[in-house]
Homo-oligomer: A and B are copies of this chain.
Amino acid sequence: MRPIVTVFATSPDRGRGLARDMPVRWALEEAGQPYDVRLCSFEALKQPEHLRLQPFGQIPTYEDGEVALFESGAIVLHIAERHAGLLPRDVPGRARAVAWIFAALSTVEPPIVERAMASLTERDTSWYAARMPLLDARVHTRLQQLANRLGDAEWLDGAFSAGDLMMISVLRRLGGSGIIEAYPNLGLYVARGESRPAFARAFEAQLAVFRAASAG
């Protein structure tokens, strides 16, 4: 069967490709694997039927007839293990690509999401202006380290991998903040990811869902 991915019926990012189905769609497009989506309202995410698949009431989930999965990192890794082109074939290279998936989600993303959350939920507080420089500094620390490692390489470790796919997906959350512009090599790295045909197909597909919901 074609894999089924759950996505927001109306994504809060308004189709900017920042919801967590985006890296899964991108991986499936890189793998040349057709898939279907199941649209979830915010109400549906809280229902027992969805919580059985996704205990934290989030999207995406992934079902392919053999496995039923949650967590975008685990889903991308599962797809990458079953299709050519997203993981090196040698054991050390493959293990390092997996390390970059974890680094994206567990080391680089948390300060980026913390900063974005504060922008959304604490903008009207008395402490917003005083705290924001602290949050920016935490993001800059990680970006500087990542920029140092990337240098003028095209991708993080040899050929494009699921590690790059996830890191670029995380860095895209900074779009519009003006932060990534301080690291020209990271800006070019994100642009290289976004210029891949598989990225473009995934992006258009998620945007089409949002547009249809807005028009409906």
Whether the pair A68, B55 counts as a contact (CB closer than 8 A) is: no
Whether the pair A110, B107 counts as a contact (CB closer than 8 A) is: no
Chain B residues with CB below 8 A from A91, complex form:
66-67
Chain B residues with CB below 8 A from A77, complex form:
98
Chain B residues with CB below 8 A from A134, complex form:
121-122
What are 29 sample pairs from A and B whose C-beta atoms fall under 8 A apart?
A55-B145, A55-B146, A55-B149, A56-B146, A57-B145, A66-B91, A67-B91, A67-B92, A69-B96, A70-B99, A70-B103, A71-B106, A71-B107, A73-B102, A73-B106, A74-B101, A74-B102, A74-B103, A75-B99, A105-B106, A110-B110, A110-B113, A114-B114, A121-B134, A122-B131, A125-B130, A125-B131, A127-B127, A127-B130
Distance in angstroms from A117 CB to nearest chain B CB is: 9
Q: Residues on A close to B: CB < 8 A?
A: 51, 55-58, 66-75, 77-78, 91-92, 95-96, 98-99, 101-103, 105-107, 109-110, 113-114, 121-122, 125-127, 130-131, 134, 142, 145-146, 148-149
Minimal Cβ-Cβ distance residue in B for A81: B95
